[in-house]
Amino acid sequence: MKPWQLMLTAACAVLVALGISSLYTINEGEQALLIRFGKPEGGPRYAGLHFKLPLIDTVRVFDRRILKWDGDPNQIPTRDKKYITVDTTARWRITDPLRFYTTVETFNGAQSRLDDILDSTVRDAVSSHLLLELVRGRDYQPPPGVTDEAVQENEKPQTGREEIMANIIKTAKALTPEYGIELIDVKIKRINYVAQVRKRVYERMISERKKVSSQYRSEGEGEKADILGQMDRELKTIASGAQRRSLEIRGKADAKAAAIYANAYKQAPELYAFLRTLEAYRKAVGANSRLVLSADSDFYRFLKKLP
């Protein structure tokens, strides 16, 4: 191959390499920033094939999808001096790659800046409201027949969780555009007492449940006493009625028996007197008893008549 052919081949190869290096693609869900001689120059915001100056421009690709931020749980005192642990999450996205690169530069830098913004905003909101306002809505109503003891012990809530979260989002949103970030939403995932307070809260809940159970138990004992008293009264009423009925029947039977005896006595008075006398002998004279009577006593009159 001749020298000029080699030079032409090399030039073509260089041109092809430069052409290939001047092309770059942006995928769906991405956005790019051109950096020329170390200075950001902006870039395309849509997916597809794009051009750059080879060896001069470099491309930084950023995500344009919704990103997640999860903060570390923080211990914060509420306005009513309740120490709680607040766990917060948020959703955000990059809206201005140029401003994002010049202020925070990387994803980790953005997360760190969001830590500062959201942690301070949530802390201010929690410390300026009651615990009840953080966990309940303004329109919360206790179930029928249930007394809201928590409201009686503390101040009456002036706002609700929805309003507090709306204020947190509004305050935090106003601080993020200068970093090329749009804050979409902020939510409190979990609220819990700190470990030192949690034990006392559980003990208080147990004592309250024991108080309620003691009240139910005493009411049950009262109901039991009433039922037993009513049962005793009913038993006495039934027993007295049965005894009265038995006395009435016995009285009628005794009267009937007396009438029979009287009728029999009228029909055979001598036989009746004889039988009654024999019965008196059997009861009066025993194996170890003695009976002293006068000679003219009528007790043995029937024996005297024997031949």
Structure confidence by residue, pLDDT tens digits, 98-126: 888 888 988 899 999 999 999 999 999 99
pLDDT band at 265 (very low <50, low <70, confident <90, very high): confident
Q: How far apart are CA 69 and CA 277, in angstroms?
A: 120
7-11, 68-72, 80-84, 138-142: segment of lowest average pLDDT:
7-11
Task: For each of the domains in the chain, give its residue range(s) and CATH number, in order of start.
Answer: 19-63 (no CATH), 67-141+149-193 (3.30.479.30)
- pLDDT at residue 24, rounded to an integer: 63
The beta-strand segments (E) located in the chain are 23-26, 30-36, 39-42, 48-51, 57-63, 67-70, 74-77, 83-94, 181-193
Q: How far apart are CA 143 and CA 12, in angstroms?
A: 83
- Per DSSP, the three-state class of 303 is helix
Averaged confidence pLDDT in the chain? 79
